[in-house]
Amino acid sequence: MYLEYWGFKRFPFDNVPDPTFFYLSKPHEEGLTRLIYAVEMRKGCALLSGEIGCGKTTLSKVFLERLSEDNFDVALISNPCLEPMEFLKDILYKFRITDVPETKVEILQRLNNRLTNNMNEGKETLLIVDEAQLLSQATLEEIRLLLNFQLSNRFLITIFLLGQPELIENIKKIRQLEQRIAITYFLRPFDLKETASYILFRQKKAGAAKNVFSQEAVELVYKHSYGLPRSINNISDLALLIGFGEKRDMINSQIIKDIIEDGAVF
């Protein structure tokens, strides 16, 4: 609706995990570095946590884009609210193994064969579980047992757990699993400076020739969003729509105030 008015070629603040619009802030760069380190060093298990809307899923997509399909076999589970057997079956499905057996012994044997074949072919095997805070204690225990797929000198699989802060508390209840997580990182929200850079970055990526947000507007966006990218996107997108409707030449602080006072965003 407002693309031509503001000079954009794409919507700058869509809330989809598009790696094209990935802003490499300091916390996101550190998180990405740790994910890459975990897989390169075959650390077995890594955990990435953060508040809702902080960019964990987008970060994981950027991470996957940096991996060669020839060298990595990846299974991504984005809906892990499953009982242990269904979870194990889903892992096989995500590894494109269609003939999934019914017994746990056979499932684990099929998975072990896949891991061994990948190793013999020079491939690393990755399991990424998004929204991992939804995992039951029983399923977390199965994940711990999957880390037993190893040789004397290396793991046969690297598992990444991505989730909200309660994931950390859930894992602490299984001490044996907590001790086997080699890499952990909490993805913090943006500070004010990072929020301003993020808003400018998204506009440029969308094709804008200039910044249309005043400094005062950015400060209010930061204050109300708490520096969470998803909330920043929601407020900024609505601000551009309102500014377009009112034929403004810039997004000022009054537009942001009106959005907040009207309860248009949460």
Q: What is the CATH number of the domain that holds 250?
A: 1.10.8
Q: Give the number of other Cβ atoms within 10 Å of residue 131's Cβ.
A: 18
266 belongs to a structural domain:
no
Q: To which H or E segment does residue 76 belong? A: strand 72-77
224 belongs to a structural domain:
yes
Q: Are residues 46 and 134 in the same domain?
A: yes
pLDDT surpasses 80 at 79: yes
238 belongs to a structural domain:
yes
First to last CA, the chain: 23
Measure the CA–CA gap between 240 and 5, rounded to whole angstroms: 10
Q: Are residues 148 and 49 in the same domain?
A: yes
146-169 average pLDDT score: 95
Query: What pLDDT is recorded for position 70?
Result: 87
How does residue 266 score in pLDDT terms, banded at 50, 70 and 90? Answer: low
Phi, psi of 251 (to 5 degrees): -85, 110
- State which of 165, 187, 209 marks the end of a domain: 187
pLDDT surpasses 80 at 151: yes
Helices (H) and strands (E) in the chain, counts: 12, 5
Per residue in 188-216, is it b (16+ CB within 10 Å) or e — as a string?
bbbeeebbbebbbbbbebbebeeebbbee
Measure the CA–CA gap between 208 and 4, rounded to whole angstroms: 10
- State which of 159, 187, 215 marks the end of a domain: 187
118 belongs to a structural domain:
yes
Average per-residue pLDDT for the chain: 95
220 belongs to a structural domain:
yes
pLDDT surpasses 90 at 152: no
Q: Are residues 148 and 257 in the same domain?
A: no
Cα within 13 Å of Cα(106), Cβ side = 7
Q: Are residues 50 and 165 in the same domain?
A: yes
> From the centroid of its chain, how far is CA 155?
24
152 belongs to a structural domain:
yes
Grouping H, G, I as helix, E, B as strand and the rest as coil, residue 107 is: helix
Q: Which two tokens stand for residue 6?
A: 């503001």
Measure the CA–CA gap between 144 and 164, rounded to whole angstroms: 19
Residue type, 130: D
Q: Which two tokens stand for residue 222?
A: 């930061």
21 belongs to a structural domain:
no
158-179 average pLDDT score: 96
The total number of structural domains that make up the chain: 2
Whether residue 14 contacts residue 42, with contact meaning beta carbons closer than 8 Å, is answered with no
Q: Are residues 12 and 134 in the same domain?
A: no
Span 1-28, pLDDT tens digits: 799 999 999 999 999 989 899 999 999 9
Please list the residues that pair with 50 across neighbouring strands. 187
Q: Are residues 150 and 36 in the same domain?
A: yes
Q: Are residues 9 and 104 in the same domain?
A: no
Q: Are residues 96 and 195 in the same domain?
A: no
Q: Are residues 139 and 247 in the same domain?
A: no
Interior angle at CA 182, CA 178 and CA 185, nearest 5 = 90
Q: Which two tokens stand for residue 208?
A: 């804008």
Span 229-263, pLDDT tens digits: 999 999 999 999 999 999 999 999 999 999 999 87
Identify the domain containing residue 103 by its residue range. Answer: 26-187
Query: What pLDDT is recorded for position 1?
Result: 77
Assign residue 41 the CATH number of its domain.
Answer: 3.40.50.300
- State which of 160, 187, 214 marks the end of a domain: 187
How does residue 68 score in pLDDT terms, banded at 50, 70 and 90? Answer: confident
Whether residue 41 contacts residue 87, with contact meaning beta carbons closer than 8 Å, is answered with no
Q: Which residue has the tokens 């993805």?
A: 187
Q: Are residues 104 and 74 in the same domain?
A: yes
113 belongs to a structural domain:
yes
How does residue 264 score in pLDDT terms, banded at 50, 70 and 90? Answer: low
Q: Which two tokens stand for residue 157?
A: 């699989």
pLDDT surpasses 80 at 43: yes
219-235 average pLDDT score: 97
Q: Are residues 164 and 195 in the same domain?
A: no
How does residue 69 score in pLDDT terms, banded at 50, 70 and 90? Answer: confident
Q: Are residues 89 and 180 in the same domain?
A: yes
